[in-house]
């Protein structure tokens, strides 16, 4: 099955700096890659996603890049704010199969 690895496991940045989280996946058939944000004690919320026919997608301060050949994708958060502090999970999915396989998570702390 699919194996998703995520790095780093923890990340601290100063407010205003950028944060980058990287994920790799093993199944070349995976073609949908969502990113979820989970605040303490709350449910995961989708923040951005990318399909394999696209190399990059941006939504305001958040962007995701995908390298299909290398089987890795990254989340970029610019101009970080304290409210960005949370755990971020990447996931990989084969669109026809539905299942999401999550990475191990990155705990992001934005220091005011």
Partner 1 sequence: GAVVSQHPSWVICKSGTSVKIECRSLDFQATTMFWYRQFPKQSLMLMATSNEGSKATYEQGVEKDKFLINHASLTLSTLTVTSAHPEDSSFYICSARMAGGLRGREQFFGPGTRLTVL
* Sole binder of partner 1 in the list 11, 32, 62, 78 (CB under 8 A): 32
53 near partner 1 (CB under 8 A): no
* CA dihedral over 28, 30, 31, 37, signed as positive or negative: negative
- Which residues, 78 to 107, sit near partner 1 by CB under 8 A? 87, 89, 93, 95, 98-105, 107
Interaction between residue 35 and partner 1 (CB under 8 A) = no
Q: Which of 3, 16, 29, 42 binds partner 1 (CB under 8 A)?
A: 42
**Residue 34 is a binding residue for partner 1 (CB under 8 A):** yes
d(CA 10, CA 67): 23
What is the dihedral angle through the alpha carbons of 29, 93, 102, 40, rounded to the nearest 10 degrees? 160
User: Six-digit token pair at 63?
Assistant: 């962007």
**CA separation for the pair 3, 20 (Å, rounded):** 20
Task: Give the binding site for partner 1 (CB under 8 A).
Answer: 1, 6, 32, 34, 36, 42-46, 49, 87, 89, 93, 95, 98-105, 107
């Amino acid at each position: 099955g699919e194996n998703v690895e995520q790095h780093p496991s923890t990340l601290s940045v100063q407010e205003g700096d950028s944060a980058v989280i990287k994920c790799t996946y093993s199944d070349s058939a995976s073609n949908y890659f969502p990113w979820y944000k989970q605040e303490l004690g709350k449910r995961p919320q989708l923040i951005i996603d990318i399909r394999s026919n696209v190399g990059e997608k941006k939504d305001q301060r958040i962007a995701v890049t995908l390298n299909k050949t290398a089987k890795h994708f990254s989340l970029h958060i610019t101009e970080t704010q304290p409210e960005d502090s949370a755990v971020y999970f990447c996931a990989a999915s084969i669109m026809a199969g539905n299942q999401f396989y999550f990475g191990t998570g990155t705990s992001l702390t934005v220091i005011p």
